[in-house]
A and B are shown apart, each in its own frame.
Chain A
Amino acid sequence: MNFMASKQPENSLLGPESDSQRTLYPYVTGTSVVALKYKDGILMAADMGGSYGSTLRYKNVERMKAIGKHSLLGASGEISDFQEILRYLDELILYDNMWDDGNSLGPKEVHNYLTRVMYNRRNKFNPLWNSLVLGGIKNGQKYLGTVSMIGVNFEDNHVATGFGNHLARPILRQEWHENLSFEDGVRLLEKCMRVLLYRDRSAINKLQIAKITEEGMTISQPYSLKTYWEFSAFENPTQGAVGSW
């Protein structure tokens, strides 16, 4: 009874749906998320930018959200898909709460659920265009994992998405150690975010750091990092360059 059935050419290799039902490319995207385990839980950092292609269009996008009592989710990639994932998780946590039996979903369970969702969407060639970081702590057990848009998932002591994998993780591999204090953890994250700010063109200088511990989740107010641009190579950069303006 669908009067506006989508037309497909006869030689199409597509399944029942036509192309317009599938995600082909992302539109409004967030850049890297970086996270690490520390003494009391998980620390996660992400900037507040939503890029529209090469334009830094939205500057107040919160890319990290608390999930239930025990988890924290950060996302890079398509912002609308992140919002959809939050809706799925909202329903998941609601049904979990309604049992009212003293149990609640922990970060490991939420991570597994997200992996299933992402992988199944990828198999239908209609991915949620996100790289997700899921961290949390339940009954003293810290957990930090990541899922990509094709369903690749793993857990580690420190994770990052996008450019963070190339720029931040090497720093973390050198300098991360067990039982970091809160101050050391924040300092380490800020070091990573500063490198990303200098080198990732879609990063903006307005970030939040979120922490999750047994007591719950807190997220900092947006703030900016101090940067240094007085390198001599940046002074009069076009001197001696032929034909530049």
Chain B
Amino acid sequence: MSSIGTGYDLSVTTFSPDGRVFQIEYAAKAVDNSGTVIGIRCKDGIVMGVEKLIASKMMLPGSNRRIHSVNRHSGMAVAGLAADGRQIVARAKSEATNYQSVYGEPIPVKELAERVASYVHLCTLYWWLRPFGCGIILGGYDRDGPQLYMVEPSGISYRYFGAAIGKGKQAAKTEIEKLKLSEMTCREGVIEVAKIIYKVHDEAKDKAFELEMSWVCDESKQQHQKVPGDLLEEAKAAARTALEEMDAD
């Protein structure tokens, strides 16, 4: 549903007559144009996956990380303008370190999500700042268990069982809803996320992509880290087989 703002969309400090701030909606479009990012909450942790669209064959695989650790126990996957995302990650790291040095314990995921959301929202309040053009999926494991949050460019943040942003978000959300997350372990979750990303990847529009995944779970000792190499390969293989089976039908 695209509508032209015509005059009410020149600044983030202007409301339109029907109560919308167009600049924020345009920022959300930047997110919708980037590769899909998925996060799911399994019974023992969080799994996040990113469909990294490769701009050039010259790029080294494993570079251009889209998932960043914010503290030992949490991480963020970013969709949208990558440079904007780096800024938000830097801020989140700083908030986490500050909380730890003041309160003596790792920042609860809920608190971190609130602070990130506040920061993103801040940049929608002044005419001399532009909104961040990225959506963030934040996953972490604290003493209340594993939690998954999503922050949009408007500064809204909600807690989710499963979330998807980017190009294939509608298709991805449908797939996630089919999964029984509360009975799944993270090991199984990794395979499922890989399958979904391979499935929603549009072969026609974008040629190559690299799959990047991370997890925080009991198996990783509640530390946020890249999914181990062998499990990642297993997931990719399972995803490719699932695709072939689908194509064969």
In the complex, the answer to whether B93 meets A98 with C-beta atoms within 8 Å is: yes
In the complex, the answer to whether B101 meets A98 with C-beta atoms within 8 Å is: no
Closest to A102 in B: B226
**Interface: B68 (CB within 8 A):** yes
**Interface: A171 (CB within 8 A):** no
In the complex, the answer to whether A97 meets B97 with C-beta atoms within 8 Å is: no
In the complex, the answer to whether B69 meets A100 with C-beta atoms within 8 Å is: yes
Given A100-B225, A100-B226, the answer on whether A94 and B68 have CB atoms closer than 8 Å is no
> Which of B97, B214, B225 is in CB contact (< 8 Å) with A91?
B97
Given A87-B101, A91-B97, the answer on whether A97 and B226 have CB atoms closer than 8 Å is no
* Chain A positions 51-107 with a Cβ under 8 Å from a chain B Cβ: 87, 91, 94-95, 97-98, 100
What's the tally of chain B residues with a CB closer than 8 Å to chain A? 13
Cα A91 to Cα B101 with chains together (Å): 9
CB distance from B78 to the nearest CB of A (A): 15
By a CB distance below 8 angstroms, the chain A residues around B71 are 94, 98
In the complex, the answer to whether A94 meets B101 with C-beta atoms within 8 Å is: no
Q: Per-position contact with B for A162-196: 1 when CB-CB < 8 Å, else 0?
A: 00000000000000000000000000000000000
By a CB distance below 8 angstroms, the chain B residues around A98 are 68-71, 93
Cα A94 to Cα B70 with chains together (Å): 10
**Interface: B110 (CB within 8 A):** no
In the complex, the answer to whether B225 meets A94 with C-beta atoms within 8 Å is: no
In the complex, the answer to whether B226 meets A94 with C-beta atoms within 8 Å is: no
A-B contact pairs, 12 of them (CB 8 A): A91-B97, A91-B101, A94-B71, A94-B72, A94-B97, A95-B93, A98-B69, A98-B70, A98-B71, A100-B69, A100-B224, A100-B226
For the complex with contacts A97-B69, A98-B71, 18 further pairs of A-B residues with Cβ separation under 8 Å are A87-B101, A91-B97, A91-B101, A94-B71, A94-B72, A94-B97, A95-B93, A97-B72, A98-B68, A98-B69, A98-B70, A98-B93, A100-B65, A100-B69, A100-B214, A100-B224, A100-B225, A100-B226
